[in-house]
Amino acid sequence: MTTPKNRVPTITEVASAAGVSRATVSRTFSRPELLTPETTERVRAVAARLGYVPNQVARALSTGRAGNIALIVPDIANPFFPPLIRAAQARADEAGYAVFLGDSDEKPEREDILLTKIAAQVDGFILASPRLDEQRVRVHAARRPLILINRDIEGLPRVLMDVDAGITQAIAHLAELGHRHIAYVSGPPASWANQQRQKAAVKAAKRLGLTLVAIPANHPTYQGGQAAVPELLRTDVTATVAFDDLVAQGIMAGLAERGVQVPRDMSIVGFDDVLAARTYPPLTTVAAHCAEAGARAVELLGEILQSGRHPTARVVIPTELVVRATTSQPRRRQAGRGKPLAAAS
Amino acid sequence: MTTPKNRVPTITEVASAAGVSRATVSRTFSRPELLTPETTERVRAVAARLGYVPNQVARALSTGRAGNIALIVPDIANPFFPPLIRAAQARADEAGYAVFLGDSDEKPEREDILLTKIAAQVDGFILASPRLDEQRVRVHAARRPLILINRDIEGLPRVLMDVDAGITQAIAHLAELGHRHIAYVSGPPASWANQQRQKAAVKAAKRLGLTLVAIPANHPTYQGGQAAVPELLRTDVTATVAFDDLVAQGIMAGLAERGVQVPRDMSIVGFDDVLAARTYPPLTTVAAHCAEAGARAVELLGEILQSGRHPTARVVIPTELVVRATTSQPRRRQAGRGKPLAAAS
DNA sequence: AGACGCTATGTAACCGGTTGCACAGAGACG
DNA sequence: CGTCTCTGTGCAACCGGTTACATAGCGTCT
């Protein structure tokens, strides 16, 4: 019952109700240190009684600061992003920013449109795993502070995963278990993250003297992983490193359907650690700490917005292998066929 | 290279460059039918050359229409929400709205704060599974159009799942298979959705003459489900209906750890169908079509914003049981113990 | 006592659009 | 040919805040 009318009062109404000027009301909420404590107290009381809340739109127009940030992701439904979004949102909230969320549906041109459309409403952007070409990203970055996640463009502030460390650990772990032939089931070729992971895997395998075959999963999804299984079984690998956990999970399902047991007949390593603990058996994977990436990106953006400076930080988040239950010593399989041997353990 | 400076031009600059008034430029973008085609064409050309984009903040201030909507969810990381968010975002985008995303972290007071803070920046709200008390929801609804998802408050527009139908099918399916004692592993007690589901389960079980025990999972999470397993095994039930897929997955993992096989020793039914196809074995579950709920909510909000009318629609989305591989005929188990009998099939 | 400085508050311009109203010019009509 | 209507455009107020600058009041110092 604070406001009988369903309209929120304006600064003018509060001013006249409190017997002060509009400027004083404004200062009560934005720069109270300029006023006597008695004044702010009185104005606050009146404002509370009327249900006044400073209008963020008007504030944004006159100050040029929106108090919002935008977070653009290629696919919210990809389990990599929710923890990232959640952490980003929480940090933004602490810093007093509201968050615009954009889903580009993996389409570069939709990223471009989203960025253009909401530019005026936000103080800065966070682009997670952008598919947009470098030139366009730079254009947007020239207008507003912009932080990249999972994309490395020289001169722009960015938060990256230390893919090399994690993948190297994973391959070393497999080598130690005795695997000699391994597969990398890749993600979208246009993805920078995929290129990084694949390159790291190739390098690590070479260093350890393992053979590595790359198998494409057209889409970085559960279905994509499942669809890659037939080709996977046509090879003689005993272990698979997947582009991400989702693909790994798809592979596991595909293998299970064909009676290939994990890890007995095939070891599996995922990437991201976003649903690793939820699979059965629990997935061995490279933890990418995506929540931390989201939080760091917001912090970085906050610093830039505070300082006005434009440091081109390059934050690298460490990754590490988390060994769970989908990796074990290899076991001889019928060459070229998925069927496990009938022999007892 | 459209703009050498990294500032976007204002309507005034476009106006003088095109040799027209600011009003004409404004109308070029908002009401072109008032101008001659030649004029709009000329102004558009100039605007494009300068890289002009109408400032949404200024527009919002003068029109009172923000062109944004807010979507508040209790936990982005809960797999129920990403498909919903994604669908909502896609529909909003089609209708020309940008989306504010708020995560309340399951806390009613954070919902309240979020709603208050961004009210001025949006034309309407969508509240998914709100934890906020009814009175406060009504206060916010009085200020701006507000659509509820998964919460039934008389007089407010809302999108609901037909919980009864799905749960009834699920219980009937279990009864048909021969189960007599079943458990319902519940979600958060404060959740309206949980109350609905539990009530529906009790009703259906009673009608079919089954006994039903309710077991609480403190949190609607994988861990919550896992934690409920010991209590579950203390009972003599042969089938379990879980609050949602996540809890079901947790239960499956908890059972697997203890050597209880699904569905041989325990049948499991989930709810939502958000990750059902990704578990192994694939989960029998009630499909709630959460993406559709998100889309419908946005459509409803769009209609209200268009018409200015305030219909208190009550959209009910049908649900249905999807039988996959976690339900089968019951098998006698040692009373009160989780261990399956050694006897052969 | 007068000049000075400091502090608290008010005045008014401004942010970048939109829109009611005025008005000019063209065509229609008596 | 004058008036009337209609159409396209401009003028200026307005949305709800912020903020540079002006000013009033008061204590302090010489």
Q: Tell me the average pLDDT across B24-31.
A: 96
Do A156 and A301 fall into the same domain? yes
Q: Band of the pLDDT at B321, cuts 50, 70, 90?
A: very high
pLDDT in tens, A170-204: 999 999 999 999 999 998 887 888 999 999 999 99
Is B136 domain-assigned?
yes
What values do phi and psi take at B175, rounded to 5? -60, -40
CA B67, chain centre distance (Å): 22
Q: Which nucleotides of D are covered by protein (CB under 7 A)?
A: 7-12, 14-20
Contact B126, B149 (CB under 8 A): yes
| Chain A residues within 8 A of B277 when measuring between CB atoms | 222
Do B50 and B87 fall into the same domain? no
Residue in B57, B278, B280 nearest the CB of A57: B57
Do A178 and A227 fall into the same domain? yes
- Higher pLDDT residue, A281 or A92? A92
Q: Tell me the average pLDDT across B174-183.
A: 97
| Chain B residues within 8 A of A124 when measuring between CB atoms | none
Q: Counting one residue from A and one from B, how many pairs have CB atoms under 8 Å apart?
A: 132
Do A120 and A73 fall into the same domain? yes
Q: Tell me the average pLDDT across B4-17.
A: 85
Instruction: Tell me which chain A residue has its CA closest to the CA of residue B248.
Output: A278
Do B167 and B280 fall into the same domain? yes
Do A254 and A227 fall into the same domain? yes
Beta pairing class for A239-242 and A267-272? parallel
Do B138 and B196 fall into the same domain? no
Distance to chain A for B206, nearest Cα, Å: 33
Is B338 domain-assigned?
no
Q: Can the peptide bond before residue B83 be classed as cis, meaning omega within 30 degrees of 0?
A: no
Q: Band of the pLDDT at A332, cuts 50, 70, 90?
A: low
Q: What is the pLDDT of residue A340?
A: 43
pLDDT in tens, B110-161: 999 999 989 999 999 999 999 999 999 999 999 899 999 999 999 999 999 9
**B contact residues 106-135, partner A, Cβ 8 Å cutoff:** 114, 116-121
Contacts of B50 (CB under 8 A, 6+ apart): B2, B3, B9, B13, B14, B17
Is A5 domain-assigned?
no
The answer to whether A150 faces chain B, any CB pair under 8 Å, is no
Residue in B55, B77, B90 nearest the CB of A86: B77
- The candidate with the shortest Cα–Cα distance to A288, out of A87, A145, A146, is A87
The CA distance from A147 to A85, in Å, is 14
For chain B, the domain total comes to 3
Beta pairing class for B98-103 and B68-73? parallel
Is B330 domain-assigned?
no
The CA distance from B220 to B189, in Å, is 10
The range of the structural domain enclosing residue A24 comes to 11-54
Do B150 and B136 fall into the same domain? yes
Position A28: which residue type? T
pLDDT in tens, A30-41: 999 999 999 999
Is A333 domain-assigned?
no
Do B114 and B167 fall into the same domain? no
pLDDT in tens, A25-78: 999 999 999 999 999 999 999 999 999 999 999 999 999 999 999 999 999 988
DSSP A161-210: E-HHHHHHHHHHHHHHHT--EEEEEE--TT-HHHHHHHHHHHHHHHHHT-
Q: What is the CATH number of the domain that holds B73?
A: 3.40.50.2300
pLDDT in tens, B56-75: 999 999 999 999 999 999 99
Do B204 and B282 fall into the same domain? yes
Is A339 domain-assigned?
no
Is A63 domain-assigned?
no
Beta pairing class for A320-322 and A284-287? antiparallel
Do A129 and A245 fall into the same domain? no
Contact B252, B280 (CB under 8 A): no
If DSSP codes are grouped into helix, strand and coil, which group holds residue A27?
A: helix
A34 touches strand D (CB under 7 A): no
The CA distance from A75 to A71, in Å, is 12
pLDDT value at B253 more than 60: yes
Question: Is the model's pTM score more than 0.85?
Answer: yes
Q: Do A60 and B57 touch (CB under 8 A)?
A: yes
Is A62 domain-assigned?
no
Do B274 and B295 fall into the same domain? no
**A contact residues 16-75, partner B, Cβ 8 Å cutoff:** 53, 55-58, 60-61, 66, 68, 75
What tokens were used for A35? 């006023």
Contact A269, A284 (CB under 8 A): yes
